[in-house]
Structure 1
Amino acid sequence: MKVNTEPLKADTFYHIYNRGINGENIFKTENNYRFFLNKYILHIEPIAKTYAYCLLANHFHLLICTRSEDEIYSNLNVNVDEVSNLINVKKDRTASFNISNQYAKLFNSYTQAINKSINRTGGLFETPFRRIEIKSDAYFSKLIWYIHQNPQQHGFVSDFRDYPHSSYHSHLQTKATRLQRDEVLKWFGDGEEYVKFHSHEVNSETIRDLKIDFN
């Protein structure tokens, strides 16, 4: 039985993660990373705020907070009166459907483009994608650290700071960003404390409660 697939709720923090089918790479070229982020902005920004991310060759991690029901309905042009009049359908359930549907659009549109570019057929991502609700401040802090450390843990780089496809450096820059940069830096205190927190060494005890399950 698959776990971490509960319906997504509005106005809730989540760790979202997924991987390629059978461990297949989902990012085939360097340009694929940017293409995915552009698709992500198009489909996910209307329904969620993003605090951290890391894209690796065969999987990805996201730390998001889903938007409020009203924001979701407004951004997606959902008629709330029609939703309210549906028999046995609650507004929050419909918000949940819209959140998941936007992720489906992201994965499907990205897969179609990749398949076309390499003459491939079939699905690219495992389904359903996984999610873990974030219920504590400590977990939120450690998850940002874990997401940014992930490339080093998987051997893509010897130092996670050298990895180009994560949000680590974006939080330390001043140029415009879609990330919740100000909230993240304020959470840690400032940029210096953010960097200091990320310097903590990785060991089995540190990541014990952060290990993910794809089974």
Structure 2
Amino acid sequence: MKLEILEKGYCYHIYNRGINGCDIFSNNDNKRYFLSRLKHYLIPHISVFAYCLMDNHFHLVIRIENDTELIQKVSNFFNAYAKAFNKQQNRTGSLFEKHFKRVRLESEVYLRNLIVYVHLNPTHHLNQDFTKFHFSSYATFLSNKPTALARNEVIELFGGFDNFVCCHSARQEFLNETYTFE
């Protein structure tokens, strides 16, 4: 399988899961540590448009700002997290599936839909209200707290704050509908 390279100026969907479907986060501290390592290793080399950390997988929507040795930086980020998690859990071996998945986004429509998809992950996988899920970037977009997220750019991508919220709610309502065929 040929892996997509990470090129400056392009947006990507980066995702992976635990090897054999195992959990990669056993508690909220693990998720906070993952985000701190993301910031340490990859900011300012990337802009983060969205993220969601589930127990056994994660999603990142990013844009590459500086591709100088970025693959090595990404590798260092994942390795640092895996080593810390393995030490904490008293386990050895691979934590993640072999290679992180990466898909280059070719259109703004796809980017907007992906951001909404990533934010709705808690609803899909945990049957939880995505607006209250702590380890998704959605709530950060709604707050005024300082953030490393590309908040203003993402809000503009949706045509404003109200439309950002509306697009998420409309998609959620669509997913909640049940269809019967007679």
Assess same fold via TM > 0.5.
yes
Query: Which residue is 1:127 aligned to?
Result: 98
Q: State the Cα distance separating 1:157 from its structure 2 match.
A: 3.1
Over the matched positions of the two proteins, sequence identity in percent amounts to: 40
Query: Which residue is 1:116 aligned to?
Result: 87
Query: Which residue is 1:138 aligned to?
Result: 109
Which ranges in structure 2 are unaligned for 5 or more consecutive residues? 176-182
Query: Which residue is 1:175 aligned to?
Result: 145
| Match for residue 20 of structure 2 among 10, 19, 22 | 22
Query: Which residue is 2:170 aligned to?
Result: 200
Is residue 2:156 matched to residue 1:186? yes
- Quick check: 1:47–1:67 contact (8 Å CA) kept in 2? yes
- Quick check: 1:55–1:165 contact (8 Å CA) kept in 2? yes
Q: State the Cα distance separating 1:7 from its structure 2 match.
A: 1.6
- RMSD over aligned Cα atoms: 1.5
- Quick check: 1:157–1:163 contact (8 Å CA) kept in 2? no
What SS does the corresponding residue of 1:104 show, helix, strand or coil? helix
1:45 counterpart letter in structure 2: I
Which ranges in structure 1 are unaligned for 5 or more consecutive residues? 70-94, 205-215
Query: Which residue is 1:85 aligned to?
Result: none
**Which structure would you say has the larger Rg?**
1
Report the more deviating stretch, 178-187 or 193-202.
Answer: 193-202
| Match for residue 164 of structure 1 among 121, 129, 134 | 134
Q: Distance in 2 between matches of 1:66 and 1:127?
A: 22
2:48 counterpart letter in structure 1: T
What SS does the corresponding residue of 1:18 show, helix, strand or coil? strand
- Quick check: 1:54–1:150 contact (8 Å CA) kept in 2? yes
Q: State the Cα distance separating 1:151 from its structure 2 match.
A: 1.2
1:145 counterpart letter in structure 2: V
Q: Distance in 2 between matches of 1:68 and 1:117?
A: 32
Report the more deviating stretch, 181-190 or 49-58.
Answer: 181-190
Is residue 2:90 matched to residue 1:150? no
The ranges of structure 1 where at least 4 consecutive aligned residues each deviate by more than 3 angstroms after the TM superposition are: 201-204
Give the TM-score normalised by structure 1: 0.77
1:10 counterpart letter in structure 2: K
Q: Distance in 2 between matches of 1:106 and 1:151?
A: 24
Q: State the Cα distance separating 1:192 from its structure 2 match.
A: 1.1
Q: Distance in 1 between matches of 2:104 and 2:42?
A: 17
